[in-house]
A and B are shown apart, each in its own frame.
Chain A
C-alpha cells in the first residue's frame, strides 16, 4: 500500500501533466465500470446472487447498440451535431430498454424458479446463463469486433498546462453523473425504491407488509440491465465490442462492487473509480508500471485481497441493503 502511494507520488512529481491526464482516463474508465458494478451490487443486494450473466448482457447490449447506430440510424462522423445528439439519445434509451428486458428475462426464465433452491444451485445457473447469453451474442453478431464511427471526437476540449480533457472523457462523465443522481433518487425516494430496500433487508417480512417481492426483484433486474445498457453505449463510444467483451469487463466491475462493499450503491461507484484509476495508472506510461499484460492479475489480486481481509468492502456496511 505504502509502496503504491510512494510510486504514485513519485510519478506525480516526475511528470505532473501526464499524471493528471492518466487520472482523467481513470475517471473515464471508472464511470463505465461504475454503471456495470451498480448492476452487480443491486442484484446482489436483493438476491445475494452474483449475476454472472450481467457482463454478457452488457456485451450483448453493446453489440445491439452498435448495429443500431450503424445499420438503422446510419450515424457517422459526417452527420450534423444535432442528428448525433438526438441519435445518441435515442440509442441510449433503446439500449437501456433492451438491456433491461434481457436482464429481467434472464431472471424470469432461470432464477425465479430457483428462489428456494440452495444458493450454490442459483450461482451455477448464473454461470450457465452467462455462457448462454454470450453464445446468443455469438449467434447474432458473429466473432468479429464491432465498432462505431467516432461520433464523439477523440480530440481535446481544452488543454491546461499540458493536461488535456478529451471530449470522450467529458461525454462519459456528463452522462454518468446524471444517471447516478437519478438512480440514487429512485432508490432513496420512490415507493419502488423503498420496496427494493425492504426486500433486500428481509424478503419475508416485506412480503408480509404487502410488497410484491417478485415484482420488486424484476424491477431490480430491469434497473440493473438499464444501467448496463447505458454503460455499454458509453463503452462502445470509446472501444470495440465483441461477444466475449462482457466476461472480463464484468469481472472487473464485480471486483469494483466488492471493493466498495457489495450491496452498497455508493460503494460500487467508489470502487469502480478506484479500479478504473488502478487500471489507468497500471497501463500508463510510467516508470515500473507493469503494463496492460498484468491488468487482469492486478485486479483479481485486489479482489482476492479484499475478500480475504475485508469482505465487507471499503465502505464497510455490514448490511446488504439496496441504499
Chain B
C-alpha cells in the first residue's frame, strides 16, 4: 500500500517536473523557489511598496467615476487617512493580536496623541511663546510650536506612558473585565477633553471646538535650500502627496517594528501569554510586566498615528474620539486575522477605505447601476451595522481572519485554555495558591 503510494507520488513528481520544463510559468516558479529566502520575502514587499509610493502619480490616469462597484479610486487625501488608520490597527494588533488582551478603548490613545500634538504645536497656550524647530509659523506667534517630527515622538512616548498608567492597575484583570475597563477609559478621555475647557478657569483643551490650527510638518528653510525638501507641508501645492508619503513611512516603520517585536523575546512572551497565561506564568514570564509592555507599545503607535492625523487635519476635535472608532479598529484586526500583520494591513486598508469614501462610493455605484430611482439606498448611514455584521460573521465562520497567522490558526482550531486552572496571585496576596475552578474564582 505504502509502496504503491510512493510510486504514484514519484510518478506525479516527474510529471510535474516535465510539465514545469514545458511551461514557462512553472519554470519561472521553479526559478523563484531557487532564490534565497530573504529575496523571496522582500520582493513582494518592495513591489507593493513601489506601487504604493507611486500612487499619487498614476492616480490621475486611473479611471474615475463609475468604476464597477468601487465607483472611483480613493483620492490622495483619503489615502492619507486610510494609511493612518491602518497604522493604528497595526498598533492595536500588538495588544489584541499578540498578547490576546481585548482593548475596547484604543481611541483613548488616539485622543492622547492628537491632543499632545495640539498642545505642543499650536497656538493653544497663548500665555507662552515657545518655538523649537517649528516650520511654517511666524517667529512671533504665541503658543508652543515644536517641530512636528519631534512632536510625533513626544506624543508616542506620552501615549505609551498613558498606556502604562491605564495598564498598571487594570492588567491584573482577565479577559472581559479588562475589556470593560479599557472601554471605560476610552469613554472618559474623550469626555475629559470635551469638558476640560475651564479647569479652574484654565483652558486645557478648548472644549467642543477642539484645538485648531495645528502646525504641519516640514523641513525648514535650511534643508529646503540645501536639499530642496519642502519647508512646510501646508504651504506646498502638493501637500496631500507629502502627507501621503509621510504616512506611508509611518506605516512602514510601524510594520517593521511590529515584525521585529513579534520575533523578539518580548514578542514570544506575548504569544505565550495569549496561548496560556497560567503556563506562561509558570515558565517564569513576568505576566504584569509583559502585558504592560504590550499595552505601552500598542499605545505608542496609536499616539504617533493620532498626532500625525491631527497635524494632517490641522486640528484635534473631541467628536473624533467615539467608541465607534475603537470598534472600527478592532474590526480591522479581527477581519485581517488577530496577530497577522499583513492581514491587519490589508483589512485596515479595505475597512478604512470603506469608512473614508468606499461605502459612499459603493452606495453611489449601486444607486446608479442596480437600484431604480425609486429605491435608492444610503449605504454609508449603516456603516457601523455593516462592521457589526463583519465582526459577527467572522467570529462565527472564520475566527482566524482573512489572512491568518499560522500559529493563531492552530490555536483556534485546536483550542487553548483560557480558563485559569489556578488563580495567579502574588505569594503575599490572600488566597495565594488556592485551587480555583472556573465556577469559584471571580473572573477578574
* A contact set with B: CB distance below 8 Å: 48-50, 110, 113-114, 116-125, 127-132, 134-136, 138-139, 201-202, 247, 251, 254, 258, 293-294, 296-297, 300-301, 303-304, 307-308, 311-312, 318-320
| A311/B177 contact (C-beta < 8 A), A120-B100, A293-B191 known | yes
- Please determine whether B444 and A318 come into contact, CB atoms closer than 8 angstroms: no
Decide if B365 is an interface residue (CB 8 Å cutoff): no
Q: Closest 4 interchain pairs by CB?
A: A135-B385, A131-B388, A128-B391, A311-B444
Q: Who on chain A is nearest to B383 by CB?
A: A135
Point out the residues of chain B lying under 8 angstroms from A294, CB to CB. 191, 195
Task: State which of A122, A127, A136, A307 has its C-beta within 8 Å of the C-beta of B170.
Answer: A307
- Please determine whether A247 and B395 come into contact, CB atoms closer than 8 angstroms: no
- Please determine whether B444 and A319 come into contact, CB atoms closer than 8 angstroms: no
- Please determine whether A131 and B323 come into contact, CB atoms closer than 8 angstroms: no
Point out the residues of chain A lying under 8 angstroms from B191, CB to CB. 293-294, 296-297
Q: Who on chain B is nearest to A305 by CB?
A: B169
| A127/B418 contact (C-beta < 8 A), A50-B179, A50-B180, A119-B175 known | no
- Write the nearest CB–CB distance from B272 to chain A, whole angstroms: 16
Point out the residues of chain B lying under 8 angstroms from A297, CB to CB. 187-188, 191-192, 195
- Please determine whether B389 and A49 come into contact, CB atoms closer than 8 angstroms: no
| A135/B418 contact (C-beta < 8 A), A125-B392, A128-B388, A308-B169 known | no
Point out the residues of chain A lying under 8 angstroms from B185, CB to CB. 300, 304
Does more than half of chain B's interface fall in helix, strand or loop, or is it mixed? helix
Task: State which of A121, A304, A319 has its C-beta within 8 Å of the C-beta of B439.
Answer: A319
Q: How many of B's residues come within 8 Å of A, CB to CB? A: 50
Point out the residues of chain B lying under 8 angstroms from A114, CB to CB. 395-396
Distance in angstroms between the alpha carbons of A50 and B179 in the assembled complex: 10
Task: State which of A118, A121, A127, A320 has its C-beta within 8 Å of the C-beta of B104.
Answer: A127
Distance in angstroms between the alpha carbons of A299 and B439 in the assembled complex: 28
Task: State which of A49, A125, A296, A301 has its C-beta within 8 Å of the C-beta of B391.
Answer: A125
Point out the residues of chain B lying under 8 angstroms from A49, CB to CB. 176
Q: Who on chain A is nearest to B417 by CB?
A: A118
Point out the residues of chain B lying under 8 angstroms from A120, CB to CB. 100, 102, 175, 418
Distance in angstroms between the alpha carbons of A132 and B388 in the assembled complex: 5
- Please determine whether B184 and A303 come into contact, CB atoms closer than 8 angstroms: yes
Point out the residues of chain B lying under 8 angstroms from A124, CB to CB. 102, 330, 334, 391, 395
Point out the residues of chain A lying under 8 angstroms from B395, CB to CB. 114, 117, 121-122, 124-125, 128
- Please determine whether B392 and A123 come into contact, CB atoms closer than 8 angstroms: no
Q: Who on chain B is nearest to A49 by CB?
A: B176
Point out the residues of chain A lying under 8 angstroms from B172, CB to CB. 308
Taken residue by residue from 186 to 197, chain B's Cβ proximity to chain A (1 for < 8 Å, 0 otherwise) reads as 011001101100
- Please determine whether B444 and A307 come into contact, CB atoms closer than 8 angstroms: yes
5 pairs of residues in contact across A and B, judged by CB atoms under 8 Å: A123-B175, A247-B323, A293-B191, A297-B188, A308-B181
Decide if B443 is an interface residue (CB 8 Å cutoff): yes
- Write the nearest CB–CB distance from A318 to chain B, whole angstroms: 6
